[in-house]
């Protein structure tokens, strides 16, 4: 697949139908904060069959300098994934699509990969400038939060001292192709599949460990985990990120699933997961109505008519709250 622009910034998502709306919110945040002097190729690896929504997304978000393309994996690549263990929870094999980024986007030099449950609070071209041809990829270290380190310590003798979170990465396409990254990942899956604890993040970390590959460490502000920064604040972690993260990654419970982590109760934003930030972008996005209904459906303990609950929710997000948000996080 070829870039559509001469001076492009490639951004990739890998999603299934479940994460399509979350990706829309992340896309909204990117577009709200990007530098309009740059050109952006947004590439969405997906297995969604909702063609109407895809066309709507393209019509709403594409601009003169922004291209949006939905790419389905061909049957040969899907066949390679058939033996992969699915990630526990509501993910599917689509989470493994990122392993084929270097096989699909061969005409790009670098690709930024983002999980769908992210919001970007800064110009993403600043992240793209972190590209370095000396590294296989760049990512943020995640030694504090990752639940995968314990899994890996049971199946390999490697000492985990530089585990990275795979939700935000910059792929060096040429190096990944030269190393045959996708084959290495599938080999790792085959090697450890009896453990039934392998997913794509573990694969990528094991590749880096087993091949002694150098991974460029990004500033933590480019993958600020809400669970550490807002819900379980650690002074050292917060000091490394500062008062204004460049990207928030909503690991664990999502803002539309829980009142406290969702941030609808705004007594102490540091406690409630920074969800009000996510909702600010969700409200500006195409997916807002659907998320509002989803949020209401999660409130099974509220025995009130849905229309009344929606009114309360909208009232909470008054102009006053939006003004307070903008005083800390500038929106375009």
Q: What is the CATH number of the domain that holds 124?
A: 3.90.550.10
Looking at the structure, tell me whether residues 131 and 21 fall in a common domain. yes
Structural domain boundaries enclosing 316 = 254-332
pLDDT value for 316:
53
Q: Are residues 53 and 177 in the same domain?
A: yes
Query: Which pTM does this prediction carry?
Result: 0.84
For residues 276 and 270, give the distance between their C-alpha atoms in angstroms, rounded to a whole number: 10
Amino acid 71: pLDDT: 94
Report pLDDT for 191: 81
Does 316 lie in the same domain as 206?
no
**pLDDT confidence of residue 20:** 94
Same domain, 18 and 164: yes
Q: Is residue 106 a part of any domain in this protein?
A: yes
Total number of domains in the chain: 2
pLDDT per residue of the chain (332 residues) written in tens, 0 to 9: 666 766 689 999 999 888 999 999 999 999 999 999 999 999 999 988 899 999 999 999 999 999 999 998 877 777 777 767 554 433 467 878 999 999 999 999 999 999 999 999 999 999 999 988 889 999 998 866 556 666 676 666 655 567 889 999 999 999 999 999 999 988 888 887 776 667 888 889 888 887 777 789 999 999 999 888 887 777 888 888 988 899 999 987 788 876 544 444 443 344 456 888 998 999 999 999 888 877 666 554 445 555 665 565 565 555 445 454 444 444 33
Indicate whether 237 belongs to any domain: no
The verdict on 268 and 192 lying in the same domain is: no
**pLDDT the model gives residue 193:** 72
Q: Is residue 231 part of a domain?
A: no
Residue 232 lies in a domain: no
- The answer as to whether 228 is a domain residue is no
């Amino acid at each position: 697949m070829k870039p559509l622009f001469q001076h492009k910034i490639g951004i990739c998502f890998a999603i299934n139908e479940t994460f399509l709306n979350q990706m829309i919110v992340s896309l909204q945040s990117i577009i709200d904060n990007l530098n309009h002097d740059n050109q952006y190729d947004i590439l969405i690896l997906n297995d969604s069959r909702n063609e109407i929504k895809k066309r709507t997304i393209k019509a709403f978000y594409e601009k003169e300098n922004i291209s949006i393309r939905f790419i389905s994996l061909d049957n040969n690549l899907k066949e390679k994934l058939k033996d992969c263990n699915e990630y526990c929870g509501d993910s599917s094999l689509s989470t493994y699509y990122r392993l084929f980024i270097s096989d699909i986007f061969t005409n790009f030099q670098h690709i930024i990969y983002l999980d769908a449950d992210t919001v970007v609070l800064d110009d993403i071209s600043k992240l793209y400038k972190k590209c370095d041809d000396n590294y296989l990829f760049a990512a943020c270290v995640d030694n504090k939060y990752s639940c995968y380190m314990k899994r890996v310590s049971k199946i390999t003798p490697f000492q985990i001292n530089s585990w990275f979170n795979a939700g935000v990465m910059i792929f060096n396409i040429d190096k990944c192709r030269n190393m045959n990254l996708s084959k290495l990942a599938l080999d790792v899956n085959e090697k450890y599949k009896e453990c039934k604890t392998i997913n794509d993040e573990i694969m990528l970390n094991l590749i880096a460990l087993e091949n002694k590959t150098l991974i460029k460490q990004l500033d933590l502000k480019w993958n600020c985990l809400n669970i550490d920064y807002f819900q379980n604040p650690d002074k050292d972690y917060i000091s490394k990120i500062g008062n204004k993260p460049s990207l928030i990654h909503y690991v664990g419970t999502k803002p539309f699933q829980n009142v406290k982590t969702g941030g609808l109760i705004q007594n102490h934003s540091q406690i409630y997961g920074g969800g009000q930030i996510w909702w600010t972008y969700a409200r500006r996005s195409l997916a807002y109505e659907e998320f509002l209904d989803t949020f209401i459906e999660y409130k099974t303990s509220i025995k009130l008519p849905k229309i009344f609950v929606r009114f309360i929710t909208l009232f909470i997000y008054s102009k006053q709250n939006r003004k307070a948000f903008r005083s800390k996080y500038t929106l375009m």
